[in-house]
Structure 1
């Protein structure tokens, strides 16, 4: 799992430092805020994986911070950590959209287990959402909805035919196809044009390969056709 990033919003410094120590020892990147304003500034500047949020802050309440964050991100896990133990406080926090509500004093081991579980689930949900909208193969990501290709998260401009060929390859990695098979699929034409096929493969290699003269991704299988290698 990628290094998790955690935001702690707590105005009591000893509590904040304790929580930071717990998760720093778990090899997480931990950001700290003592006010709602600082929390929102960090949230907008850094992409965090979870927020631990106190309710009683110096400027605005943790409830208000959570409401503002939910306007921008409805999926980000938020855990309230508060000395307010009344049922109505807990219910209000959960109704705002918190994923959990822990009261003080708390068990460091229980808090650690809960936070790690929520971050893992959040990352898995994001991965599922990403995979439903993209084809991801090795260094490449194909945006199905917008027909865009990315290599190492940098967009590569392709023509419509090049885009179709690349989509075909990414849907069928590590498989050998004859030139005729690829041509008929892309051009929807029974009359095979070997020259057109070779020209477009050359164009595509010039755009996606690090060294087009020694292709790493689109391999020529002599006497047969091509293979997109991952």
Structure 2
């Protein structure tokens, strides 16, 4: 079995060594980067199963490193490990795309459990992506066999029309469609009804968005229509 490969991006050597000791004793292959620039260089050169990322570093902040990772890789687990404990810092890190945020000082057992949990989830996603009957765009998943839709592995109950519209979005992520195109594709009717589309978009936002009034996934593209953004 191939070893799990972890990258630590941390400018404090004692913390790097501590994390290395914790994870390497659990049969993980642990790499170390002493700043953000070195971390990005290693990410571009090697393949990792998870990145542990400090925030306050001399050259590039952990936030910027995470943003750069997410431009090219949506599935690589990122765990922030930081002394910044304010709620706004934690929320910012999660909004950028981190999978978890652990504050310093940290418990070795909690760190180890978080790492194992995120890697297990990544393996499940990679396995699901090889199943042609399951569409995965994290945190969403649509099962073509059962017509069930999930967010963070929790099933969301959708009506028949909501299911058809969500299936279409999952099959066409990051593409902009007019209301007419959506109506014809989902309702299969050339007589477009803008009001029906707007109503069902509202229903879906209420079910899948964290803040329906500020949608991050089903976005309005003014003057054109809608985009399912991942």
**Equivalent residue, structure 2, for 1:6:** 6
- TM-score (norm. length: structure 1): 0.56
Q: How far apart, CA to CA, are the structure 2 residues paired with 1:116 and 1:82? A: 19
Alignment partner of 1:6: what SS? strand
2:91 matched to 1:91? Answer: yes
Q: Unaligned regions of 5+ residues in structure 2, if any? A: 134-230
Q: Which aligned runs of 4 or more in structure 1 are off by greater than 4 angstroms?
A: none
**Equivalent residue, structure 1, for 2:123:** 123
Question: 1:10: Cα distance to partner?
Answer: 0.5
Q: How far apart, CA to CA, are the structure 1 residues paired with 2:106 and 2:91? A: 19
**Equivalent residue, structure 2, for 1:67:** 67
Q: How far apart, CA to CA, are the structure 1 residues paired with 2:13 and 2:95? A: 28
**Equivalent residue, structure 1, for 2:22:** 22
Q: How far apart, CA to CA, are the structure 2 residues paired with 1:109 and 1:11? A: 22
Q: How far apart, CA to CA, are the structure 2 residues paired with 1:2 and 1:117? A: 17
Question: 1:128: Cα distance to partner?
Answer: 1.3
Alignment partner of 2:59: what SS? coil
**Equivalent residue, structure 2, for 1:185:** none
The higher radius of gyration belongs to 1
Map 1:34-183 onto structure 2 (within 5 A). 34-132=34-132
Question: 1:58: Cα distance to partner?
Answer: 1.3
- TM-score (norm. length: structure 2): 0.56
Q: Unaligned regions of 5+ residues in structure 1, if any? A: 134-230
In 2 relative to 1, CA 119–102 (structure 1 residues): closer, same or farther, beyond 3 Å? same
**Equivalent residue, structure 2, for 1:211:** none
- Equivalenced residue count is 133
CA-to-partner distance for each residue in 1:39-92, whole Å, 9 max, x for gaps? 001101111000000000110100000000000101111000000001110010
Map 1:181-192 onto structure 2 (within 5 A). none
**Equivalent residue, structure 1, for 2:216:** none
**Equivalent residue, structure 1, for 2:148:** none
Q: How far apart, CA to CA, are the structure 1 residues paired with 2:123 and 2:40? A: 21
| Root mean square deviation, CA, Å | 1.2
Question: 1:113: Cα distance to partner?
Answer: 0.7
CA-to-partner distance for each residue in 1:165-210, whole Å, 9 max, x for gaps? xxxxxxxxxxxxxxxxxxxxxxxxxxxxxxxxxxxxxxxxxxxxxx
